[in-house]
Amino acid sequence: MKYNFFVIIFLLPFYVMSQDYNVALIPDSLKEGANVVTRYEERVYEIKSPGKAIEHERHVYTILNESADYLGKYKTYYGDFSKIKYVSGTLYDASGKKIKHFKTSDMSDYSVQSDMNFVSNERFKTYDFYNRVYPYTVDFEEEDEINGILDIDDWTPQGINRAAVQHTKYMIIAPADYVLRYKPINCSLLPVITQEKEKKIYTWELQNLTSKTPEVLAPYPREIIPYVAIAPSQFEAQGYRGDMSTWLDYGKFIYQLVKGRDVLPEETKRKVHELTDNLKDPLQKTKVLYEYLQKNSHYISIQLGIGGWQPFDASYVANKKYGDCKALSNFMIALLKEAGVEAKYVEIYAGEDAPKMIEDFTFSQFNHVTCCVPINKDTIWLECTNQSKAFGYAGSFTGNRKALLIDGNGGHIVQTPTYTFADNMESRKITAELSLEGHLTLTSNTQYRAEKQDLLSMEINSRTNSDMMDRLKSEIDLPTYDVQKFDYREEKSLIPSVYESLTINAPNYAQVTGKRLFVAPNILNRSNERLKPDSNRKYPIDIKESYTEIDSVEIKIPSGFELEAAPQDNKLETQFGKFYSSVKLLSDKLVYYRYRVQYRKRFPATEYEKLANYFEQIYKADHAKLVLVKRE
């Protein structure tokens, strides 16, 4: 293999240490609490021009147990933007003895495309040693040719849970006049910068990082682990040039990919006018066209070269009746434009696990495209990939986060709708009857609003009645029960609701002991949140959900019974939320009331024990039982 000078000088340490894979040489401090030890890791990324680069990487992992076996399997992707020059891998036993080796031609090669809802010309190669004798070491090396520098991998020295690191290094080699942009996140890791003739070399390097243990309710990893965000300034990909120095510049690049792709076929134009010409209110026009989109298109992920960034044009979607998030959002914008309503193309990080946007450093932080419609002082958000979502509702998929709005002036950071604890409500009314034998029959009517209805709405629109019955039979938290009847009804609005009606038989719900019945008054909404003690908590507490739960329960008891013992009323008002519960016997009915409010908020690690105590009090209150006794 022929290497350039700069790569050679940094690869020398690889071969010096290649015989030192004896696990006994790993310090005990690095093995403690770890599933894997990164013995050596190095990446060299050489920028040849705004559109060309060579990337060389090497990863040496000592796998200590089966939890890290996934790192013993090598997998690498290639496509329009990258070409694999070579891959090699070697397996060593615990003493450092070489067991097996593979090269590029030994690897299996597959298409990324797995079904008809995903279209891609990207492929991947993979190889598995199938070794399960622990500990063992794998040494992987790869070199790729990059064609189109739309992004540059960040440097994350310790991005794996329960992984210790002996030595990690990241180097970027660039022309001396190239502006490389980088920003330390959650740390102060700055590169050592050297210059060799007409090239500038940026080097980040760390050693002996002990294993980190994941913590419950911690912020998303990108918000707490140390890493360096790295991005190009000027770049080029498949004939498109751009600049990523500012959000305005980045937005201008995206705008040139979208511009001119909003031309509709004449037949579609006529349909738009047929639907909207008799409507004067832009909100009504938007709603009608959004419902037209939902009925006449479906989502297919399309990742073909620059198509991973650029939408298919509107006429393609009109004719094919499908598209990815970019294409469907662009089509929606084109429909609205024909109706005289202006809409905007928006890049966003979608999903419930979305980390917070880093606003002061420009790089692609997005995995999805949606669109918004500014109408008067309001903005309507349209999720164009979902055929059943309520008009104007963002929900937990794209709500409560920052996004990047794209127009002819560039990119602009905007805020999507935020759904509060008052919006995200679950309100339940249960009427039940308890028999002498402890059997319970009940009718439950529940309203789920906003984020509380997200998953349920998706399921009732994608599952059969039989599937929904199977779900109910497996997911309700009762020891033994039978769902006799169920029904769902949706109310689609800016704050949508799902109404659920259940009829359930629960044999042996109450424990019968002689003349006493032991009854849990909270039937369907018991919290199981319990936190283990952790006096060494390091990370902040991040409560990501915000909601209100209201439960009202009436249980008719057998005649001749009276209340012998009952849980005390609970009233908790804390910085984390509120919780009230009470139960009393009124005539022949047990009347139970539960009210819980959860705040979406971040708290310092020092508040962990208080939160654990709060959850524990709720757990005990939710699982408390009362005692009914037969009158003499």
Of the pLDDT bands very low, low, confident and very high (cuts 50, 70, 90), residue 6 is very low
**Is the pLDDT assigned to residue 609 strictly greater than 60?**
yes
Which pLDDT score is estimated for 307?
57
Q: What is the mean pLDDT of residues 383-390?
A: 96
Of the pLDDT bands very low, low, confident and very high (cuts 50, 70, 90), residue 302 is low
295: number of Cβ within 10 Å: 9
Give how far Cα 177 sits from Cα of 241, 362, 609, Å: 18, 20, 53
Of the pLDDT bands very low, low, confident and very high (cuts 50, 70, 90), residue 607 is very high
Q: What is the mean pLDDT of residues 12-21?
A: 51
Q: What angle do CA 293, 298, 300 make, to 5 degrees?
A: 135
Strand 601-603 to 541-543 pairing = antiparallel
Which pLDDT score is estimated for 228?
96
**Is the pLDDT assigned to residue 486 strictly greater than 60?**
yes
**Is the pLDDT assigned to residue 412 strictly greater than 90?**
yes
| Cβ neighbours of residue 59 closer than 8 Å, sequence gap 6 or more | 38, 40, 41, 138, 139, 140
**Is the pLDDT assigned to residue 18 strictly greater than 60?**
no
Which pLDDT score is estimated for 10?
38
Which among 546, 590, 599, 594 has a CA at the least distance from the CA of 570?
594
- Rounded CA-CA distance 150/233 in Å is 10
**Is the pLDDT assigned to residue 11 strictly greater than 70?**
no
Which pLDDT score is estimated for 594?
98
Of the pLDDT bands very low, low, confident and very high (cuts 50, 70, 90), residue 80 is confident
The tokens for 594 are 């539960």
Among 237-241, 351-355, 477-481, 501-505, where is mean pLDDT lowest?
Answer: 237-241
- Rounded CA-CA distance 530/619 in Å is 7
Which pLDDT score is estimated for 217?
96
Which pLDDT score is estimated for 150?
82
Bond prior to 265 in cis (omega within 30° of 0):
no
**Is the pLDDT assigned to residue 203 strictly greater than 60?**
yes
Q: Residue 48 burial (CB < 10 Å; 0-12/13-18/19+)?
A: middle
| Cβ neighbours of residue 436 closer than 8 Å, sequence gap 6 or more | 558
Which pLDDT score is estimated for 114?
61
Of the pLDDT bands very low, low, confident and very high (cuts 50, 70, 90), residue 42 is very high
Q: What is the mean pLDDT of residues 449-459?
A: 97
Which pLDDT score is estimated for 222?
87
Which pLDDT score is estimated for 102?
97
Of the pLDDT bands very low, low, confident and very high (cuts 50, 70, 90), residue 81 is confident
- Rounded CA-CA distance 14/151 in Å is 27
What tens digit of pLDDT does each residue of 305-321 get?
555 788 999 999 999 99
Average predicted confidence (pLDDT) for the chain: 92
- Rounded CA-CA distance 236/151 in Å is 10
Query: In the chain, what is the straight-line distance between the N-terminal and C-terminal CA atoms, in Å?
Result: 95
Q: What is the mean pLDDT of residues 595-614?
A: 97
Which pLDDT score is estimated for 396?
96
Strand 234-237 to 240-243 pairing = antiparallel
Q: What angle do CA 172, 365, 243 make, to 5 degrees?
A: 60
Give how far Cα 73 sits from Cα of 63, 132, 133, 139, Å: 11, 12, 14, 11
With pLDDT > 70 as the criterion, what percentage of the chain qualifies?
A: 94
Of the pLDDT bands very low, low, confident and very high (cuts 50, 70, 90), residue 5 is very low
Among 169-178, 233-242, 571-580, where is mean pLDDT lowest?
Answer: 233-242
**Is the pLDDT assigned to residue 355 strictly greater than 90?**
no
Among 213-217, 335-339, 551-555, where is mean pLDDT lowest?
Answer: 213-217
What tens digit of pLDDT does each residue of 144-153 get?
999 888 889 9
Of the pLDDT bands very low, low, confident and very high (cuts 50, 70, 90), residue 108 is very high
Domains located in the chain, CATH noted: 5-240 (2.60.40.3140), 246-415 (3.10.620.30), 425-630 (2.60.120.1130)
Q: What is the mean pLDDT of residues 358-385?
A: 94
Of the pLDDT bands very low, low, confident and very high (cuts 50, 70, 90), residue 4 is very low
Of the pLDDT bands very low, low, confident and very high (cuts 50, 70, 90), residue 119 is low
